[in-house]
Amino acid sequence: MLEKYAELIIKQGVNLQKGQELLIEASIDSYPLVRLLTKQAYEVGAKDVIVNYRDEVVTRLRYENCDQKHFEAVPSYIKELRNGYAARHVALISIESEDPENLKNIDPLKIQTWSKAVRQACQPFYDALDLGINRWCIVGAPSVGWANKVFPEMSDSEAVEALWKAIFKVTRCDQENPIEAWEEHRRSFERRVQILNEKKIKSLHYFNSLGTDLTIGMNPDYVFAGGGNYTTDGIYSFPNIPTEEIFTSPDFHNVNGVVYSSLPLHYQGHIVDEFSLTFENGRIVDYHAKVGEDVLKSIIETDEGSHYLGEVALVPYDSPIRQLNLIFYNTLFDENASCHLAIGKGFGECIHNGLTMNKEELYQHGINDSLTHVDFMIGTKDLSIEATLEDGSTLTVFKNGNFAF
């Protein structure tokens, strides 16, 4: 199944093309998957495979021993390498495997400072991903620390094995032909996307028993997307494996009300839980969290754009990930178990002709811009979403946590 997983990531996830370079960013714990991905990449004709390994123990030691100011400057070699990759249209695979509590008790301001500095220094690299120019895919692979967090009652080896089985299940790698299964998965997205894009939705009203009562305005030329997408060279790929979401970017100035989280948010080694956000005219004007409020504050205060929404994502409550009844403590997986929103940057593909626009043009069309993009889960078993259409009629999009159509 690990070989099937690697083949799926190369052929469907990042859809690597003959003669293209591939960059793999991964923890040292993920080396078995990295080696299989490298083998698969060369088999489809990769020009070269570049691997950047990281060590979460070393990362923690760096944050513990370097002062705040150190994280404000990014070495030139990092900037030159990443922006060089972007210019050469290198495809990217990012493997997530870190212990969700690796950076527990580390000053969140240090983490946010470094994240913001890297984003600014490597803007061409991130723009090429965000604007649909270069292909990328985020996937998961267990580490002992992550597996122990998900399965605390098991031994190390048992926990890692259980987490692999869960990953194979939700990525459809336990099926006879995962690539065919993902082609079918793609068709299921396309049906609902077509309905949502034909309905001319003006706004979405979210409400549930947690207290969520939020109205989100849509851009006049909105586009819902789901599953995968096309890059500007016309090649289809899946940026996330797994994925169960249908998403768009809202009119970031037109969001009002309050929303409550339904699952913990894992953010750069910290947990934020039981939190709420209040919006007025799109902007977050108040927030509270029982766990990790200082981390939530650091996210919201990244820049001006991080005070607004960049994404609205629809995920049925009975999705395959939710059916496992697991909290993965990893946003890649947990966001696909629940409807979610995202603070920060919006997507060019979520507005007509958006992939031909630059950041300034997208902003003028209601697509938010920010150095960050952080998903948080809001879906519940009793979540309802009512759409108001441009002609004044209404459409039930979600009822009792699931699609109404």
Question: CA 256, CA 214: separation in Å to the nearest integer?
Answer: 6
DSSP E strand boundaries for 142-235 = 201-207, 213-217, 225-226, 229-230
Res 270: pLDDT = 87
What Cα–Cα distance (Å) separates residue 9 from each residue in 16, 37, 319, 377? 9, 8, 21, 25
Q: Which two tokens stand for residue 226?
A: 């789901």
> Quick check: helix, strand or coil at residue 95?
strand
Please name which of 155, 165, 78 lies closest in space to residue 114, comparing C-alpha atoms.
78
Backbone angles phi, psi at 394, to 5 degrees: -120, 155
Question: CA 123, CA 152: separation in Å to the nearest integer?
Answer: 39
Q: Are 289 and 129 in contact (CB under 8 A)?
A: no
Q: Which residues are within 8 A (CB) of 238 and not within 5 positions of it... i.e. 6 or more apart?
A: 12, 13, 15, 137, 182, 227, 228
Element (DSSP H or E) covering residue 274: strand 270-280
- The pTM of the full predicted model, rounded to 2 decimals, is 0.87
> pLDDT tens, position by position, for the chain (405 residues)?
999 999 999 999 999 999 999 999 999 999 999 999 999 999 999 999 999 999 999 999 999 999 999 999 999 999 999 999 999 999 999 999 999 999 999 999 999 999 999 999 999 999 999 889 999 999 999 999 999 999 999 999 999 999 999 999 999 999 999 999 999 999 989 999 999 999 999 999 999 999 999 999 999 999 999 989 899 999 999 999 999 999 999 999 999 999 999 999 989 878 999 999 999 999 999 999 999 999 999 999 999 999 999 999 999 999 999 999 999 999 999 999 989 999 999 999 999 999 899 989 999 999 999 999 999 999 999 999 999 999 999 999 999 999 999
Res 268: pLDDT = 84
Q: Does the N-terminal peptide bond of residue 242 adopt cis geometry, omega within 30 degrees of 0?
A: yes
3-state DSSP: the chain helix, strand, coil percent, rounded to 5?
40, 25, 35
Res 392: pLDDT = 96
Question: CA 344, CA 150: separation in Å to the nearest integer?
Answer: 28
∠ CA 97-98-104, nearest 5°, is: 160
User: Which domains are assigned to the chain?
Assistant: 2-170 (3.40.1830.10), 198-235+242-403 (no CATH)
Q: Are 165 and 171 in contact (CB under 8 A)?
A: no
Taken as a whole, the chain contains a residue count of: 405
Res 6: pLDDT = 98
